[in-house]
Amino acid sequence: MSSRKPHIALASPVARLHLKVVPGASRERCAGMHGDRLKIRLRAPAVDGKANEALITFLARELDVPARTLTIVAGEKSREKTVAVAGMTAAALSAWQDRQQTRHQQPLGTGAQEAAAS
């Protein structure tokens, strides 16, 4: 897996997160990197704004921020989206990003599989 981080920029008093969103997934989760974007898998279909609503709900829960602080500022009808997070510093958002990326870099045969074998 690539060690590149998605581009996170501080614009005015908000941090921006660049994402690759995959609607219609079997479960909701962060799924590692897709180029310089964090890949987010969502159950909601990409119809009538349902995936966008699910994305805001998912990120609010994951970032532990109110949904009203999240705004899709680019890519509303695209899988590549930019989300502004008001009230969160770029450093805090970057730290969250690092935790998500680390979760998806464990080699096969470690983590839960190893614990189950013990």
The DSSP line for 16-63 is EEEEEEE-S-SS-EEEEEETTEEEEE-SS-SSTTHHHHHHHHHHHHHH
Q: Could you report the per-residue pLDDT of 62-116, keeping only the tens digit for each? A: 999 999 999 999 999 999 999 999 988 888 888 888 887 776 654 444 444 444 4
Give the residue among 5, 8, 28 at the shortest CA–CA distance from 99: 5
Give the residue among 11, 1, 13 at the shortest CA–CA distance from 39: 1
Q: Which residue has the higher pLDDT, 10 or 84?
A: 84
pTM: 0.75
- Amino acid at residue number 37: R
Output the average pLDDT for the chain: 80
Is a pLDDT exceeding 50 seen at residue 1?
no
Is a pLDDT exceeding 90 seen at residue 51?
yes
